Chains A and B, each alone.
Chain A
Amino acid sequence: MIAELSTAAALWWAVVVSGLYHGLNPGMGWPLAVSAALMEQKRSALPRALGLLALGHFLAMLAILLPFSLMLFLVEWETNIRIAAGAIVIVMGIYLLINRRHPKILARVHPARLALWSFLAANAHGAGLMLVPLFLGICAIDADTGHKAAEALMRGNVPTAFAVAFVHTAAMTIAGGVIAVIIYLWLGLRFLSKTWFNLDIAWAISLILVGAFGIYSALYGH
């Protein structure tokens, strides 16, 4: 029982950590919040821009997690679904490792439409997929501990999808927000390029590792 709880806690922490990781990556948008505050010459533009970026990211997470939460209705296929999901995440990681180009469509978005840009950027980089193995793991623990009927399970999984997306996005927004505020208020724009690291390879490897974890836990864990 204790082991199970600690596993659930670990998964939730992983959701938080992945959010912090996405948030610190300038490629997920925090420099746009700094830019908005400077362009509009008012501080309130910064939280507003962060809010729009968060909205886009949250919706991108839901767009990936909700279909999986509905699929879990097929309880007898649960292990297969989790293995397939892990495989998809690994494939996305390998794809990003091989194809190092940036999707041009992101550059076509109007600079003021931050929520749309954030939604597309998260999807293009497989940010939602990174959460799928964690989410499925959490759902599996819920199912094990509850021995619920299929319908109840489905009803339970949808709120879990919302909770995972929310916790992840909140962590992301806090991380990105803190660094945006520090640069805007204290450090100045010079640090914008100094804090920018190329995470492309690390990001792709993260997807592969999370996918592998998903398959492993489907076979040997919950």
Chain B
Amino acid sequence: MNLRPDPTFHASPKLAMQAPVENYGFTVMLSPDGSQSDGIAVVDLNPKSKTYGEIVHQVIVPTKGDEFHHFGWNACSSSLSPLTGHAFLERRYLIVPGIRSSRIFIIDVKEPLKAKIHKTIEPEEIFEKTGYSRPHTIHCGPEGIYVSTLGGGGKDGTDGPPGIFIMDCETFEVIGRYEMDRGKQDKHYDFWWNLPQDYMVSSEWGLPPQFENGVVPEDLLSNKYGHSIHFWDLRARKNVQTMDFGENYQMALEIRPAHDPTKSYGFCGVVVDTTNLQGAIFTWWRDDDGVWQSKKTITIDPRPEDPANLPPLLQGFGAVPPLVTDIDLSLDDKYLYVACWGLGEMHQYDVTDPMNPVLAGKVELGGIAKSEKHPNGKPFVYGPQMVEVSRDGKRVYWTNSLYSTWDDQFYPDDEGGQMVMANNDENGFHLDKDFYIDFPKGYRSHQIRLEGGDCSTDSFCYPSV
């Protein structure tokens, strides 16, 4: 407990943008075959430092096969709402779930160079108290830390639907399930919210048998992955509306609400439209009658390709699908970054008018049957994937791995982990030649978190003025 609110808590998105920039980043280190232990790499992001752009510390866990993927903070700017009574928490711990093992590590990063494991929550505690498995997205919210899961009970996670559970934000004890009325929700992936407006939106990937051993082509072609998003009355814990994008919109993943709490809209990325292999972004919003609406506002076309150059999975299509696997919205709600993991492109859309996004910039790197090299001449395996934007919107970081078994299907000849950065300045959106991190041998990389919060962690309770 502090005597003052943590200096990294900001009342509004605008104040967060004006705050001191990040000096460190935290990036997942994944051993795809479980032969080594997973970990969190601490990356030096201070350009004035001698070790800028290097991994300066590693927190390697004692277990193997956890499969680190997404992670988040114990506390963020949402603590500045008097409603929650959490104003004096410290932004100090990273909550890092293993989506294969269902184990959760709490990592103390108060001193980034000495970051260490603070507590381990064993899978049995999660199974017993929630009936869920395979924890994924982390957000700090009104009653504590909210954790989304991808699986229900049982060995293969199909005994009952997956959902969200809540953890105590001080003791990290698992409290229990979030949902009181889940309605039609039977799959899960991401979630986020608008705290003052008291709504939450959740999305769907697929059930564990549909992803753990790789994408199941028959399920994809018969549209059996998730294609709906769900709108919740956040504090009543009730699903008030399920919105089906259409069954061909397979894998509705990342949910990115506008950061300014006066706004009632956001975005959701769809991996693939099975009718034409396009990637898609939907804009969702609440209309004047309080009903949620959505419209497809961005489509990204596949690229025709000689089947001989394609992995077996894609040879029948003769094309490279964009595979929109991550999106991120800048804190001023101006730019939406869209990772096209298949094409090997990172798109920057101006979404000042959320109903009419305009492509503002594009970076090509990696990609299926393309393998575009980094400007420094080094390879970037797979394609641009997990993307994180600095609070001030000037630096965009990303890594390359999607998910262990899926990497091997879409890029059977590649192996490795890289983290790169693009600048967003007077010269537009372009890769930084000097920022390139090659991960230690045997490790791939996934989500990135930035010191002091970033564009996919913090929720704000006061509007930008």
Contacts and interface: CB of A to CB of B under 8 A. Distances in A.
Interface of A: 26-29, 31-32, 34-35, 38-39, 41, 100-104, 106-112, 117, 121, 188-190, 192-193, 196-198, 200
B87 A27 contact: yes
Given A100-B1, A108-B143, A35 B15 contact: no
A200 B1 CA distance: 10
A109 B11 contact: no
Interface of B is mostly: loop
B144 interface: yes
B313 interface: no
Given A39-B196, A107-B143, A192-B462, A29 B82 contact: yes
A85 to B, nearest CB: 26
A200 B82 CA distance: 14
Contacts of A198: 1-4, 87-88
Contacts of A34: 462
Contact of A107 (B9, B12, B85, B87): B85
A39 B84 contact: no
A137 B196 CA distance: 42
Given A109-B235, A196-B87, A38 B465 contact: yes
B315 interface: no
B80 interface: yes
Contacts of B123: none
A110 B87 contact: no
B143 A109 contact: no
B83 A109 contact: yes
B170 interface: yes
Nearest to A28: B82
Interface residues of B, number: 35
A35 B1 contact: no
A107 B193 CA distance: 15
Contacts of A188: 465
Contacts of A200: 1, 88
Contact of B87 (A26, A35, A121): A26
A102 B86 contact: yes
Contacts, number: 94
Contact of B196 (A27, A29, A35, A41): A35
B262 A39 contact: yes
Contact of A108 (B4, B235, B262, B462): B235
Contacts of A107: 83-85, 142-143, 235
B65 interface: no
Contacts of B144: 104
Contact of B142 (A27, A29, A32, A108): A108
B96 interface: no
A41 B262 contact: yes
B461 interface: yes
A193 B11 contact: yes
Given A31-B80, A108-B142, A192-B80, A38 B463 contact: yes
A-B residue pairs, 8 tightest by C-beta: A102-B85, A107-B142, A189-B11, A193-B5, A107-B143, A198-B3, A198-B88, A38-B463
B298 interface: no
16 contacts: A26-B82, A27-B85, A28-B82, A31-B80, A31-B81, A31-B462, A34-B462, A38-B462, A39-B463, A106-B84, A108-B235, A109-B83, A109-B235, A111-B195, A193-B9, A196-B87
Contacts of B86: 102
Most B CB atoms within 10 A — which of A41, A107, A110?
A: A107
B434 interface: no
A100 B462 CA distance: 26
A52 B197 CA distance: 18
B196 A190 contact: no
A7 to B, nearest CB: 35
Contacts of B4: 193, 196-198
Contact of B83 (A38, A41, A111, A189): A111
B414 interface: no
Contacts of B463: 38-39
A117 B196 CA distance: 14
Contacts of B81: 31-32, 35, 111
Interface in B40-88: 80-88
A112 B81 CA distance: 13
A41 B236 CA distance: 26
A183 B84 CA distance: 21
A77 B230 CA distance: 60
Nearest to B175: A104
A125 B9 CA distance: 24
Contact of A196 (B5, B84, B143): B5
Contacts of A121: 82
Contacts of B196: 35, 39, 111
A55 to B, nearest CB: 16
Nearest to A184: B465
B235 A110 contact: yes
Most A CB atoms within 10 A — which of B2, B82, B262, B461?
A: B82
B311 to A, nearest CB: 48
B261 interface: yes
Interface string B1-26: 11111000111100100000000000
Given A26-B82, A32-B83, A189-B15, A111 B1 contact: no
Contacts of B219: none
A41 B465 CA distance: 10
Given A39-B196, A101-B170, A192-B80, 5 more contacts: A29-B82, A104-B144, A107-B83, A192-B462, A193-B10
